[in-house]
């Protein structure tokens, strides 16, 4: 899935988007913050949290990061919804699957948009085709490639009417797939598969940018959106399952400094600090851990650096590998992160791993120096050009970058410049290739290793941004999509990851954990094994 702003996309994101192993359930429900729960209140139930940064969008067709994903998940509802790690019927009242597993028929329940319009099967058809439409420029369009002719339409090789999704009537949606997809009902709970109100979208291209014009079909609706300051969500009276929603309001502040956020929590100004919408200050983690207040949960996500493979010197694979091998991951975990993370010696998280052995050694400076020398010789240079490492605003990202900057200085005697950018600007610049090395985090959108590997399938793929492409890698992923034998499919994915780690367009650093503190009065906030947060069942006692 998604990019995480911390772990993140982030992570994951995180928001936690994190993603291997979609289990985990409501891990936040029983978290102990060490605070004394107040007496039951008869007033409005208000949850106060911090978003850390402005959501880049509240449009499910354009969302690609954990911050946007959390807002979209609260304000929209898909055909299915993740409940305790499993996809359950939500907007779909009944789901029929053909014997060959190639056709899904969804019977929709009676439901309304937040503006009172009925939600129809046509809204789903419109939303999916809109996300696939090249004119929409959705970076997550590839999530819909499992639908028949979805990829061809997105790449201009088929017409919109050829895409295998069709509203048979107001309450019946028929979906035809390219191949049997065992995780398809997990996909339909992901936000790229959410509906949008066709009438609203066509009337106002900027409908999702302001509270006054935003229309969703989820548990909450946006009441206030003061950009870069605060966002307020209120319970939606038109939501089909409104009786299950206990919160009256979610107040989001937008404070980027993690120390300030933790102080706000300790002062009772917010009810939760840390992941999956923000992060705890790294300096505070040891004391929080010792106090027993901090909850830590492994999630299926990977923190990594991506290389711009079209910019020197990282157009050379050996130089990319040199920079990757010279990182001392365990030292970063022990001295900076301190929250139980695991060094990433491959890309796919351990919970869905397809390769048993690590692809390289941690802190292998000797091999790194040799590779750098060979790579520079291949490029005909005796001195590296200036190198810049970019990251989005976060104390944690800054400290990780400073540690790696120091490790590269010691290994190669080079001065790497660090560059910090606000989240939305950072995402835009990375998409446009305005970087050399850039921080990234990926939290799985669904519980399958293909979700990690497919983002690097195409050079111009929406979430690739490395400009790397490998024909053999693409061939293996295409074969895996048609392979029905689970073990043979795993072998194909293992070969693909081996190619990724041989060409090294990314430098894996660590596998995520989410850590947070919360008030005892907060119950029912779901943070699943992929790092997704869902407020539908949350309450404040």
Give yes or no for a contact between 362 and 342, defined as CB atoms under 8 angstroms apart: no
- The DSSP H or E segment spanning 325 is helix 317-325
What is the model's pLDDT at position 484? 83
The residue count of the chain comes to 541
Q: Residue 357 carries which DSSP code?
A: S
CB atoms within 10 A of CB 409: 12
| Closest CA relative to residue 390, chosen from 465, 451, 328 | 465
C-alpha gyration radius of the chain? 23
What is the model's pLDDT at position 5? 54
Can you give the pLDDT of all 541 residues of the chain as single tens digits? 455 554 333 333 232 222 222 322 222 333 333 333 334 446 899 999 999 999 999 999 999 999 999 999 999 999 999 988 789 999 999 999 999 999 999 999 999 999 999 999 999 999 999 999 999 999 999 999 999 999 999 999 999 999 999 999 999 999 999 999 989 999 999 999 999 999 999 999 999 999 999 999 999 999 999 999 999 999 999 999 999 999 999 999 999 999 999 999 999 999 999 999 999 999 999 999 999 999 999 999 999 999 999 999 999 999 999 999 999 999 999 999 999 999 999 999 998 999 989 999 999 999 999 999 999 999 999 999 999 999 999 999 999 999 999 999 999 999 999 999 998 999 999 999 999 999 999 988 888 999 999 999 999 877 899 999 999 999 999 999 888 888 999 999 999 999 999 999 999 999 999 999 999 999 999 998 888 899 999 999 9
> Distance of CA 197 to CAs 217, 242, 366, Å?
9, 19, 57
What is the model's pLDDT at position 38? 39
What is the model's pLDDT at position 389? 98
Query: Mapping DSSP to helix (H, G, I), strand (E, B) and coil, where does residue 437 land?
Result: strand
What is the model's pLDDT at position 529? 86
- The DSSP H or E segment spanning 260 is helix 258-266
- In the chain, count H helices and then E strands: 15, 21
CB atoms within 10 A of CB 77: 24
Burial zone of 290 (CB within 10 Å; 0-12 exposed, 13-18 middle, 19+ buried): exposed
Q: Any residues with CB less than 8 A from the CB of 184 and at least 6 apart, and which?
A: 104, 146, 177
Query: Mapping DSSP to helix (H, G, I), strand (E, B) and coil, where does residue 345 land?
Result: coil
Domains of the chain, CATH where assigned = 55-212 (3.90.76.10), 297-514 (3.10.105.10)
For 258, what's the count of Cα atoms within 13 Å in the CB-facing half-sphere? 24
| Cα–Cα distance measured from residue 478 to residue 493, given in angstroms and rounded to the nearest whole number | 10
Give yes or no for a contact between 254 and 112, defined as CB atoms under 8 angstroms apart: no
């Amino acid at each position: 899935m998604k990019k995480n702003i911390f772990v993140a996309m982030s992570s994951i994101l995180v928001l936690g988007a994190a993603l291997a192993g979609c289990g985990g359930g409501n891990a936040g429900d029983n978290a102990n913050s060490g605070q004394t729960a107040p007496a039951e209140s008869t007033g409005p139930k208000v949850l106060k949290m911090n978003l850390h940064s402005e959501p880049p969008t509240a449009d499910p067709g354009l969302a690609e990061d954990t911050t946007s994903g959390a807002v979209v998940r609260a304000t929209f509802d898909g055909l299915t919804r993740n409940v305790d790690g499993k996809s359950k019927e939500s907007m779909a009242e009944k789901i029929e699957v053909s014997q060959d597993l190639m056709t899904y028929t969804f019977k929709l329940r009676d439901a309304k948009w937040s503006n009172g319009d009925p939600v129809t099967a046509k809204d789903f058809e419109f939303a999916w085709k809109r996300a696939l439409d090249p004119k929409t420029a959705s970076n997550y369009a590839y999530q819909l490639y499992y639908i028949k002719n979805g990829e061809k339409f997105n790449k201009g090789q088929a017409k919109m009417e050829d895409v295998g999704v069709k509203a048979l009537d107001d309450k019946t949606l028929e979906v035809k797939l390219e191949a049997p997809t065992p995780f398809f009902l997990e996909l339909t709970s992901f936000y790229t598969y959410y509906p949008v109100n066709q009438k609203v979208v066509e009337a106002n291209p900027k409908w999702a940018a302001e509270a006054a014009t935003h229309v969703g079909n989820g548990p909450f609706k946006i009441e206030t959106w003061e950009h870069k300051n605060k966002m307020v969500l209120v319970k939606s009276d038109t939501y089909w399952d409104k009786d299950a929603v206990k919160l009256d309001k979610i107040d989001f502040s937008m404070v980027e400094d993690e120390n300030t956020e933790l102080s706000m929590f300790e002062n009772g100004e917010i009810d939760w600090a840390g992941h999956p919408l923000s992060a705890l200050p790294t300096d505070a983690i040891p004391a929080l851990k010792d106090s027993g207040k901090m909850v830590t949960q492994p999630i299926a996500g990977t923190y990594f650096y991506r290389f711009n493979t079209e910019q020197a010197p990282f157009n050379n694979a050996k130089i990319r590998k040199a920079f990757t091998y010279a990182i001392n991951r365990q030292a970063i975990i022990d001295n900076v992160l301190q929250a139980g993370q695991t060094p990433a010696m491959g890309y796919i998280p351990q919970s869905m791993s397809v390769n048993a052995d690590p692809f390289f050694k941690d802190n292998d400076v000797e091999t790194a120096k040799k590779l750098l020398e060979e790579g520079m010789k291949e490029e005909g240079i005796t001195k590296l050009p200036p190198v810049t490492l970019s990251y989005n605003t976060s104390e944690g990202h800054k400290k990780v970058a400073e540690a790696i900057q120091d490790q590269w200085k010691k290994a190669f005697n080079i001065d790497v410049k660090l560059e910090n950018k606000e989240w939305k600007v950072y995402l835009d610049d990375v998409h446009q290739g305005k970087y050399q090395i850039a921080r990234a985090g990926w939290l799985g959108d669904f519980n399958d290793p293909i979700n990690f590997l497919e983002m690097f399938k195409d050079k111009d793929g929406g979430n690739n941004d490395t400009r790397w492409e490998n024909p053999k890698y693409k061939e293996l992923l295409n074969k895996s999509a048609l392979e029905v034998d689970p073990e043979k499919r795993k072998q194909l994915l293992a070969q693909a990851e081996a190619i990724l780690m041989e060409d090294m367009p990314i430098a894996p650093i660590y596998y995520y954990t989410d850590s947070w503190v919360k008030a005892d009065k907060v119950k029912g906030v779901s943070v699943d094994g992929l790092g997704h947060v869902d407020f539908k069942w949350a309450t404040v006692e």
